[in-house]
Amino acid sequence: MKTTSLKLVLVSTPIGYLGSGKGGGVELTMRSLIKGLLSLGHKITLLAPQGSVLPSDCSAAEIRHVPGIDQPSWQHQEVSAPVVIPPDGVLLGLWEQALELGKESDAVLNFSYDWLPIWLTPRVEPDLFHLISMGAVSQVMKTLISELSKSDPSRLAFHTYRQASDYELFGEPVVLGNGFDLNHYDFQPLGGGPLGWAGRVAPEKGLEDAVAVAAALGDRLLVWGVMEDPEYAKKIESNFPPGTIDWRGFLSTAELQSQLRTCRALLNTPKWNEAYGNVVVEAMACGVPVVAYDRGGPGELINSGFTGWLVPPDDVVAMTEAASQVGMIDRKECRNWVENSASHDGFARRVESWIKKGISTTKFPKG
Ligand code: UDP
């Protein structure tokens, strides 16, 4: 079935329904990609947990809801933790349907960071492809990804080179970046607003360092995102002057960008090897410069001195100094970078060519 227009099955993350925010950046990545793939003429069936929603500009995609309990995320487990699949988990339901639908499709594209779909890859008839969404947070995942890379590297793609460098891969990794629909972000030429921070409120995101920067500057920090770890949030709040954190909650993209674009800078403080860093690019799409630790994806997304500043990881003093210099950044440069390097249609074309190449060179036996 190697036609120009592909019949694709996309499998969503089993961590939470699409729209819950629990899936982190994967949720927005999928929405952007579906829109881009549809506009390239591909036929999309999305398998996603019950409750998942797609925006109206993705209505040409068929969505099939799968019941079952959420899969525990790898990112909050020990690196040596074993694989756990709940018997009534949504992961099993998603892959039962994916394997069935995959027989009538050109390819199945997986967005979950899970053992099962990767293990299945050389063992089943449908061509399974995996856009890996995290660094190597689990030993068992790291080993499995390395094994798949050895048997057929074309089945794997990553968001950034820094993310890919966490894995032992055979040959050059396929690095696809990510994609954002620029129509959803309004450019704000004027800086001068408060500092902002966005992301899941969880230890690997290092919110405490951004709050420390705001406190050192006697400023307020607007914070958006899913409250994943309330205890952690409470602890941060108790360590800084009252009012330093301005909690804004988890907002839709439209609301998020309307507040984010007023900021003079976004602070980005990853404590882990961030695979990409959607919020970095969303801020830049609005013209907001980003001051980030030079760690993981953000280190590849920010052109230090042009679209923001990169500072040594965990160096709060350097970040405070850089945050006071964001007035030197031309906000148009930030928007231009996103237009040129991270548009949703460019991303969809890169994904399309990865899949087309993969299905034409597959190393696994069919049927
Ligand atoms: N986000 C959102 N509303 C908010 C705050 C964040 O929709 O109020 C989304 C944001 O658009 C981004 C995701 O949360 O897509 C966070 O993704 P990122 O890649 O920055 O980090 P991850 O959570 O995947 O580690």
DSSP letter string over 237-277? HHTS-TTSEEEEE---HHHHHHHHTT-SEEEE--SS--S--
Angstrom CA distances, 215 to 208, 211, 218, 239, 337, stand at 10, 6, 5, 10, 30
CA distance 56 to 38: 12
In angstroms, the Cα distances linking 184 to 62, 177, 277, 287, 355 are 22, 19, 17, 13, 27
As a whole number, the mean pLDDT across the chain is 96
What confidence score (pLDDT) does residue 1 get?
A: 44
Round to whole Å and give the CA distance between 78 and 346: 36
Return the pLDDT at 364.
Answer: 81
Q: Domain-by-domain residue ranges, the chain?
A: 7-179+343-358, 182-341
End-to-end CA gap in the chain: 14
Domains 7-179+343-358 and 182-341 share a fold: yes
| pLDDT class of 366 with cuts at 50, 70, 90 | low
DSSP 314: T
Q: What is the pLDDT of residues 62-103, one digit of tens each?
A: 999 999 999 999 988 999 999 999 999 999 999 999 999 999
Interval 186-223: pLDDT, tens: 999 998 899 999 999 999 999 999 999 999 999 999 99
Q: How far apart are CA 319 and CA 338, in angstroms?
A: 23
Is 297 near ligand 1, meaning CB less than 6 Å away?
A: no
Give the three-state DSSP class for 16: coil
Identify the bridge partners of residue 222 per DSSP, sorted by sequence position.
196, 246
Instruction: Please identify, by atom number, the ligand 1 atom nearest to the C-alpha of residue 28.
Output: 15
Name the fold adopted by 7-179+343-358.
Answer: Rossmann fold (3.40.50)
Residue found by looking up tokens 């307020």 in the block? 220
Query: Quick one: which atom of ligand 1 is closest to the CA of 204?
Result: 25
CB 122 within 8 A of CB 155: no
pLDDT grade, residue 340 (50/70/90)? very high
pLDDT number for residue 211: 98
The answer, yes or no, to whether any atom of ligand 1 lies below 6 A from the CB of 227, is no
Asked if residue 163 lies in contact with residue 135, where contact means CB atoms within 8 angstroms, the answer is yes
**Right CATH for 182-341 from 1.25.40.20, 3.40.190.10, 3.40.50.2000, 3.30.565.10:** 3.40.50.2000
Quote the pTM value.
0.96
Q: Check whether 313 has a pLDDT greater than 70.
A: yes
* Rounded Cα gap, residues 281 and 160, in angstroms: 13
CA atoms within 13 A on the CB side of 183: 6
Ligand 1 geometric centre to CA of 242 (Å)? 25
Question: Which residue's CA is the nearest one to ligand 1's atom 23?
Answer: 24
Say if ligand 1 is within 6 A of residue 270 CB: no
What is the Cα–Cα distance from 296 to 12, expressed in whole angstroms? 23
Ligand 1 mutation pick, 28, 53, 259, max ligand atoms within 8 A of CB? 28
Query: Do residues 208 and 239 lie in contact, with contact meaning Cβ atoms separated by under 8 Å?
Result: yes
